[in-house]
Amino acid sequence: MKKPEKLKLKDAMKLIIDTTDRNKLKIGLFVNNNLDFSEFETQDQSADILSKINQVIVKAKIESRDLIAILVCAGPGSYTGLRVAMAVANVMAWSLDIPVLAYNKDELEKVLSQNLDQKFSKIALPDYSN
């Protein structure tokens, strides 16, 4: 049986995390100008987020070290959900030494087109305003 081919680093894989809805986790991958979101129902975002991120990464047949950036929705949204997403995104970006970028809900397309720094250089912060 032939193994599926891995995506190449030049494919510019970005992980997107959105926890603005307290009962959902939206985890996306942006590869070659294609955005693919998976949405998961949850009662406990903090307990489910890491396993769902892993599920999306495994489904795409990549590894977390293949990511070049992490984008995290900064709000507006659930206070606890935003804190959970920010903590996970910042720790993952720091451990992978890749940039993390917070975006407001209506700015995802704009942020996806930005050129990002090569290394982890700053943390992402939530926006609690409405």
18-22, 58-62, 109-113, 115-119 — which is least confidently predicted?
115-119
pTM of the model: 0.83
Q: Cα–chain-centroid distance for residue 73?
A: 8
- 1 is a domain residue: no
Query: 4-10: long-range contacts at Cβ-Cβ below 8 A with a sequence spacing of 24 or more?
Result: 4/61, 5/61, 6/61, 6/62, 6/66, 7/31, 7/60, 7/61, 7/62, 7/66, 9/66, 9/68
* Range of the structural domain that residue 86 is part of: 10-112
Total number of domains constituting the chain: 1
Angle between helices 45-59 and 79-96 (to 10 degrees): 50
The count of residues in the chain is 130
- 4 is a domain residue: no
- 67 is a domain residue: yes
- 30 is a domain residue: yes
- 127 is a domain residue: no
pLDDT tens, residue by residue, 72-87: 999 888 888 899 999 9
- 60 is a domain residue: yes
- 128 is a domain residue: no
- 99 is a domain residue: yes
pLDDT tens, residue by residue, 9-62: 445 789 999 999 989 999 999 988 888 999 999 999 999 999 999 999 999 998
CA distance 109 to 106: 8
Q: What is the dihedral of CA 20, 22, 24, 25, to 10 degrees?
A: 50
CATH code of the domain in which 80 resides: 3.30.420.40
